[in-house]
Amino acid sequence: MVRCLALFVIGDLHLSLGESEKPMDIFKGWENHARRIAQSWDENVKETDTVIIPGDLSWAMNLDEAAEDFRFVQNRPGKKIILKGNHDYYWTTMKKMQEFLDANRFDTISILHNNSILCEGVSICGTRGWMAENSDAFNKKIIEREAQRLETSLASAKVGMPKLVFLHYPPFDREGKPILQLLNVLERHQVSDCWFGHLHGQSIRTAPVGTRGGICYHLVSADALGFQPLKILL
């Protein structure tokens, strides 16, 4: 169990502090974003708190290149729970990921992948998800796999505990239509809230947020939050 007094979330850090230099300053509003994230995080998050990072932590292509980005996260206050995003190319097997964390003493970071993590009376659940752009066999297979991973995560949660779900992709397509394979899992497990990232820039204004079918959806990409971790649980 992760011990926490407050729960925060911020997605899409898009760090490139190591060899995988890919500056985000070329995008409007992203100037000095790592420094801005660190300042707000350090001012608002306590060591007893937990921060969820739902994907796209680093631009690195492998774990060695990602070390400085993980060190940035390690050095921030609180425990952290990370899950995979579409740009996390460094991501590998759970075994290798945990060996990497252990070898570098990144002991404040936990991985959410085909599991759930108990945090002060709530179960943290989730998976990457998928942005359904068409209904071909390739996309359908990935969506079905992600729906199964979400099912596995939610099924592993402690009975009787509220289940909070974090995805990288929104569980809706570009036209705002629900990805039913994912929504069916959320509804079956009576999830009340779902947080997701991935959307940036102009897409923030049209993000599928608010309550739909009894579930409240929240966009938490870094730029949508003004590069400040959002407190979601006292």
pTM for the model: 0.94
> What's the pLDDT tens digit per position in 158-167?
888 899 999 9
| Residue 192 · residue 162 · CB < 8 Å | yes
Q: What b/e string do you get for 139-152 counting C-beta neighbours within 10 Å, with b at 16 or more?
A: eeeebeebbebbbb
As a whole number of angstroms, the distance between CA 196 and CA 140 comes to 20
For residue 63, what is the enclosing H or E element? helix 63-74
- The full set of domains in the chain, from first to last, is 7-233 (3.60.21.10)
The stretch 178-182 carries a mean pLDDT of: 94
> What's the pLDDT tens digit per position in 50-92?
999 999 999 999 999 999 999 999 999 999 999 999 999 999 9
As a whole number of angstroms, the distance between CA 161 and CA 134 comes to 36
